Amino acid sequence: MKGPEDDPGLAGKVAIVSGGGAAGDGIGNGRAAAILLARAGTKVLVADRELKLAERTVEMIKAEGGTALAHAFDATQEKDCRQLVDAAVDTWGRLDFLDNNIGIGSRGSVVAEKPEEYRRVMQVNVETMFLVSKHAIPAMIKTAKGGSIVNISSISALRPRGLTTYTVSKAAVIGLTQAMAVDHGPDRIRVNCICPGPMYTPMVNRGNGMTEANRAQRTKASVLKIEGTGWDIGQGVRFLLSNHARYITGQVLVIDGGVTLQGPERDSQAQ
């Protein structure tokens, strides 16, 4: 006998994936989620600050027969976030899912960090999720009678290691997730959080000058001794948005190959 969770409930639904672009043909967390959702029959609005990066994700989705549209926006501006949600609803008539996938890195202690950099990281890593969700939730309630949201945090929120501002911002994402889950559970909106470990993505490679030695060190940090990729995070997003997770809300899913099971090390590579 089949239960309601046997149907993933993704086909015919509409999702926004913020930060859904990536450099070249690389697979970042957002691009992977967008592709995997589209493969399951979800219509995906791929949003990114750089339109060409979102457009490449859309090209990859359409090459597989999926449905997607690219949208450029500045997630730090409420007007852009409102227009993003309106674009999804105007195009497909509804909004069911949101993958909040925007974030930047930072290093240093409270003594070393500049106040303006602290404010910038908090704005990009936390306030953007607040702003997109602020407009997405009413649209979900009105057009779909519910929905599901996944916010992307980091294992740095759970295991500080010399990236103080980044850690604070990603810990705030967990708090935001849990508060939203409580606030909007009665609206039949589930809100969960993923904490990625040291995934190898285009952003990590481009932003930090990743060397082969760095990659080997990060792989060794996993108890599985394998390298995590954007696909691993994308699979987690698709699961949490789907009916397979219908009774899961306010939770933190750690996807790190077991890195957090071992002692923390100060590391120059942000996670």
Catalytic residues, by residue number, are 166
Least-confidence region, from 29-38, 132-141, 172-181, 258-267: 258-267
pLDDT at 203: 66
pLDDT at 218: 79
Tell me, letter by letter, the H, E, C secondary structure of the chain.
CCCHHHCCCCCCCEEEEECCCCCCCCCCHHHHHHHHHHHCCCEEEEEECCHHHHHHHHHHHHHCCCCEEEEECCCCCHHHHHHHHHHHHHHHCCCCEEEECCCCCCCECCCCCCHHHHHHHHHHHHHHHHHHHHHHHHHHHHHHCCEEEEEECCHHHCCCCCEHHHHHHHHHHHHHHHHHHHHHHHHCEEEEEEEECCEECHHHHHHHCCCHHHHHHHHHHCCCCCCEEHHHHHHHHHHHHCHHHCCCCCCEEEECCCHHHCCCCCCCCCC
Please say whether the beta carbons of 60 and 32 come within 8 A: no
Cβ atoms within 10 Å of 52's Cβ, excluding its own: 10
> Nearest CA to 225 among 195, 258, 197?
258
Model confidence pLDDT, tens digit, residues 69-85: 999 999 999 999 999 99
Model confidence pLDDT, tens digit, residues 180-223: 999 999 999 999 999 999 988 776 655 556 678 878 787 888 89
CA–CA separation, 260 and 147 (whole Å): 30
For the segment 163-170, the average pLDDT, to the nearest whole number, is 97
The answer, yes or no, to whether residue 270 has pLDDT greater than 50, is no
Question: Where are the chain's structural domains?
Answer: 8-197+228-257
> Nearest CA to 180 among 137, 118, 235, 223?
137
Which pLDDT band, with edges at 50, 70 and 90, does 235 fall under? very high
Q: Which residues of 203-230 are buried (b: 16+ CB within 10 A; e: fewer)?
A: bbbeeeebeeebbeebbebbeeeebbbb
Average pLDDT over the chain, rounded to whole? 93
> Nearest CA to 39 among 15, 17, 11, 14?
11
For the segment 224-239, the average pLDDT, to the nearest whole number, is 95
Q: Which CATH architecture has domain 8-197+228-257?
A: 3-Layer(aba) Sandwich (3.40)
